[in-house]
């Protein structure tokens, strides 16, 4: 690290960086968790980086911490010592905002308050040159609102990174109402130079990632609120059937409800109480009680010295005589279900209606087991539902649902039968759309509406969600894989069961699902 370099202002060091880089000198205002991460990748791209923070120690502390990160990478053999020295020479803590005067890009990552951010940019506008670009890393405020009083709002945009910045390799480039195209293009180019994948979003609540992420947690909380099953079963089903790395309750515990519940409330309210984003009283009560998650050693799970305590799986009941099985003529994936039953060694009835002793299987999309039993005139005491939205071969768990009249001997017989080949089985109470159908359909519906609103392109949506939320696939790919028409049917039927406009299908999904078109299909 060269002390000589640190003694000069950012302006004096201009000649050091590469000429091909989009922004050769970058100012970071606010050097907390986000500012540090952004500074790190900006220096790695070859920009000189000035660090400013109102807390006098923060900028120097950020410099030290970033240099330690590079040292660690060098110790692991990922970079060499020369690289550490080269990058370290690009970092420079400064003591006044005026020291950022020669920066051609200033990125703000300060406290999340509209008045404070507005005041900062009003000052910065008078400090930097007229060609410099100004950006905010806000995650919940409107980019347009922050820029409202600026004289040169055309060169102001949002640059929304995720924590930890060096590892979360996606950034949302957000155009405010007055942002010009050149500013967004330059930011997009620079994101690539920093090794990140840029996605372009309109200035709407939650932008892409925080908007698309509304479905997972809110629907899981509704399922819990309805008493369909317990926390650990919901998490297991979504991990094993869909491939999410963390169940929604594990995820909320990790993030902390003190962070995720206010985001749920903020997006819901910014969209004028749109039912699709409705938060849960369960989360509100836990926040009020200080039960946040891992950070408080108590959340949806208990933590013993930081280790999550996980309840046992539901035991498979011992059943000696499994009755013959009859499958509803309207079951989803009926042929596949038949084959599965044969493979499991079940006695399968082939008559038009079930015999007097038959275990009656239904496999609805969106409807609950009760409704199907009544509509199909089946004996509810012997009727069990199975979620067949997803190909049985593609899932690690089967999910069965009872109805309020199901006899325990028939429930246990079904559980034992479907566990015969060793696959995990969860038995839940009645639910329009089981667990997976509800959550998947809600995610796909919200993603579809993001496309309908033109918040971003379908391609950018998929990229942002996969990289920003770590979903096993993009939500539109999820809809395509399990069938836009099926997902549409799930939503229509859930809306019938619950009478809740939360489940009304977005026109994007409604039209593509009706025609049987890919959800990625954009109109000419
Ligand atoms: P932080 O609290 O770790 O750091 C904020 C820093 O800004 C502190 O060092 C503070 O001293 C400094 N600061 C506050 N007011 C200032 C001012 N007027 N001028 C200069 N410095 C000032 O916060 P964090 O987590 O880094 O977040 C910063 C911004 O990034 C917020 O707008 C937040 O919404 C956004 N963001 C945060 C994410 C996260 O996961 N933490 C993700 C994406 C965006």
- Containing 245, the helix (H) or strand (E) segment is none
CB neighbours (10 Å) of residue 130?
8
95 lines ligand 1 (CB under 6 A): no
Ligand 1 mutation pick, 27, 32, 38, 51, max ligand atoms within 8 A of CB: 32
Cα–Cα distance for residue pair 399/450, rounded to 1 Å: 30
- Which one is catalytic: 172, 219, 462, 489? 172
User: Which long-range contacts does 494-501 make (Cβ < 8 Å, 24+ apart)?
Assistant: 494/366, 494/432, 494/433, 494/437, 494/438, 494/441, 496/366, 496/367, 496/432, 497/366, 497/367, 497/368, 497/371, 497/432, 497/433, 498/432, 500/275, 501/275
Give the DSSP per-residue string, 329-391: TT-TTHHHHHHHHHHTT--B--SSS--TTPEEEE--SSS-HHHHHHHTT--GGGEEEE--SS-
C-alpha 36 – ligand 1 centre gap (Å) = 10
321 as an active site residue: the answer is: no
33 lines ligand 1 (CB under 6 A): yes
User: Any idea of the CA torsion for 18, 21, 24, 28, to the nearest 10 degrees?
Assistant: -130
Q: What is the pLDDT of residue 19?
A: 55
Cα–Cα distance for residue pair 460/46, rounded to 1 Å: 26
- Which one is catalytic: 102, 210, 280, 486? 210
297 lines ligand 1 (CB under 6 A): no
Q: CB-side exposure of 397: number of CA atoms within 13 Å?
A: 21
User: Which long-range contacts does 245-251 make (Cβ < 8 Å, 24+ apart)?
Assistant: 245/470, 245/472, 247/220, 248/216, 248/217, 248/220, 248/221, 248/439, 249/220, 249/224, 249/299, 249/300, 249/301, 250/300, 250/301, 250/308, 251/216, 251/217
Cα–Cα distance for residue pair 263/236, rounded to 1 Å: 25
- Which amino acid residue places its CA nearest to atom 3 of ligand 1? 32
401 lines ligand 1 (CB under 6 A): no
Cα–Cα distance for residue pair 27/127, rounded to 1 Å: 12
185 as an active site residue: the answer is: no
- Which amino acid residue places its CA nearest to atom 31 of ligand 1? 112
139 as an active site residue: the answer is: yes
Cα–Cα distance list, 249 to 216, 277, 400, 433, 469 (Å): 10, 17, 21, 19, 15
439 lines ligand 1 (CB under 6 A): no
259 lines ligand 1 (CB under 6 A): no
- Ligand 1 closest atom vs CA 161: 43
- Ligand 1 closest atom vs CA 259: 40
C-alpha 267 – ligand 1 centre gap (Å) = 20
Is the previous residue joined to 164 through a cis bond, with omega within 30 degrees of 0?
yes
Q: What is the pLDDT of residue 56?
A: 86
Q: pTM score, two decimals?
A: 0.93
Q: What is the pLDDT of residue 524?
A: 85
Cα–Cα distance for residue pair 237/315, rounded to 1 Å: 16
- Which amino acid residue places its CA nearest to atom 8 of ligand 1? 32
34 lines ligand 1 (CB under 6 A): yes
- Which amino acid residue places its CA nearest to atom 1 of ligand 1? 32
C-alpha 137 – ligand 1 centre gap (Å) = 9
353 as an active site residue: the answer is: no
Three-state DSSP class for residue 1: coil
139 lines ligand 1 (CB under 6 A): yes
Ligand 1 mutation pick, 37, 111, 118, 121, max ligand atoms within 8 A of CB: 111
pLDDT tens-digit profile, the chain (524 residues): 333 333 334 543 444 444 589 999 999 999 999 999 999 999 999 999 999 999 989 999 999 999 999 999 999 999 999 999 999 999 999 999 999 999 999 999 999 999 999 999 999 999 999 999 999 999 999 999 999 999 999 999 999 999 999 999 999 999 999 999 999 999 999 999 999 999 999 999 999 999 999 999 999 999 999 999 999 999 999 999 999 999 999 999 999 999 999 999 999 999 999 999 999 999 999 999 999 999 999 999 999 999 999 999 999 999 999 999 999 999 999 999 999 999 999 999 999 999 999 999 999 999 999 999 999 999 999 999 999 999 999 999 999 999 999 999 999 999 999 999 999 999 999 999 999 999 999 999 999 999 999 999 999 999 999 999 999 999 999 999 999 999 999 999 999 999 999 999 999 999 999 999 999 999 88
Cα–Cα distance list, 228 to 219, 418, 433, 498 (Å): 12, 20, 11, 14
193 lines ligand 1 (CB under 6 A): no
Q: HEC states along 55-120?
A: CCCHHHHHHHHHHHHHHHHHHCCCCCHHHHHHHHCCEEECCCHHHHCCCCEEEECCCCCHHHHHHH
260 lines ligand 1 (CB under 6 A): no
Cα–Cα distance for residue pair 128/142, rounded to 1 Å: 23
């Amino acid at each position: 690290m060269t002390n000589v370099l640190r003694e000069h202002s950012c302006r004096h060091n201009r000649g050091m960086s590469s000429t091909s880089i989009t922004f050769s000198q970058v100012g970071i205002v606010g050097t907390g968790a986000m500012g540090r991460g952004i500074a790190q990748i900006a220096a790695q791209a070859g920009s000189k980086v000035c660090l400013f923070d109102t807390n006098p120690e923060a900028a120097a502390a950020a410099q030290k911490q970033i240099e330690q990160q590079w040292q660690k990478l060098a110790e692991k053999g990922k970079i060499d010592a020369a690289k550490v020295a080269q990058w370290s020479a690009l970092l420079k803590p400064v003591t006044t905002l005026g020291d950022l005067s020669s920066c051609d890009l200033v990125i703000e990552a300060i406290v999340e308050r509209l008045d404070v951010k507005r005041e900062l940019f009003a000052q910065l506008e008078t400090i930097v040159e007229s060609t410099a670009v100004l950006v905010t890393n806000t995650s919940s405020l409107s980019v347009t609102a922050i820029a409202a009083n600026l004289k040169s709002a055309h060169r102001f945009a949002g640059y929304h990174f995720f924590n930890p910045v060096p590892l979360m390799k996606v950034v949302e480039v957000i155009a405010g109402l007055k942002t010009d195209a050149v500013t967004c293009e330059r930011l997009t180019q620079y994101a690539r130079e920093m090794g990140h994948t840029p996605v372009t979003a309109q200035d709407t609540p939650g932008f892409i990632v925080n908007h698309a992420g509304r479905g997972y947690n809110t629907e899981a909380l509704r399922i819990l609120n309805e008493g369909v099953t317990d926390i650990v079963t919901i998490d297991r089903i979504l991990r094993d059937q869909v491939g999410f790395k963390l169940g929604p309750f594990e995820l909320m515990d990790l993030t902390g409800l003190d962070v995720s519940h206010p985001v749920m409330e903020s997006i819901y309210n910014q969209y004028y109480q749109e039912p699709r984003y409705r938060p849960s009283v369960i989360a509100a009560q836990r926040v009020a009680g200080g039960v946040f998650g891992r950070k408080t050693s108590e959340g949806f799970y208990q933590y013993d010295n930081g280790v999550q305590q996980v309840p046992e799986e539901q035991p498979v009941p011992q059943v000696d005589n499994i009755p013959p099985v009859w499958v509803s003529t309207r079951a989803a994936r009926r042929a596949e279900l038949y084959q599965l039953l044969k493979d499991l060694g079940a006695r399968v009835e082939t008559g038009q209606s079930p015999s007097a002793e038959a275990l009656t299987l239904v496999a609805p999309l969106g409807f609950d087991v009760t409704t199907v039993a009544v509509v199909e005139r089946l004996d509810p005491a012997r009727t069990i539902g199975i979620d067949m939205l997803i190909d049985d071969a593609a899932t690690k768990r089967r999910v069965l649902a009872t109805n309020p009249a199901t006899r325990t001997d028939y429930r246990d017989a079904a559980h034992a039968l479907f566990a015969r080949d060793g696959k995990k089985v969860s038995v839940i109470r009645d639910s329009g759309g089981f667990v997976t159908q509800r959550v998947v359909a809600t995610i796909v519906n919200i993603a579809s509406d993001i496309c309908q609103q033109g918040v971003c392109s379908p391609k950018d949506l998929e990229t942002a969600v996969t990289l920003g939320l770590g979903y096993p696939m993009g939500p539109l790919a999820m809809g395509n894989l399990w069938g836009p028409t099926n997902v549409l049917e799930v939503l229509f039927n859930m809306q019938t069961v619950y009478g809740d406009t939360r489940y009304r299908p977005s026109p994007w999904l409604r039209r593509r699902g009706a025609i049987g078109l890919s959800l990625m299909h954009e109109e000419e």
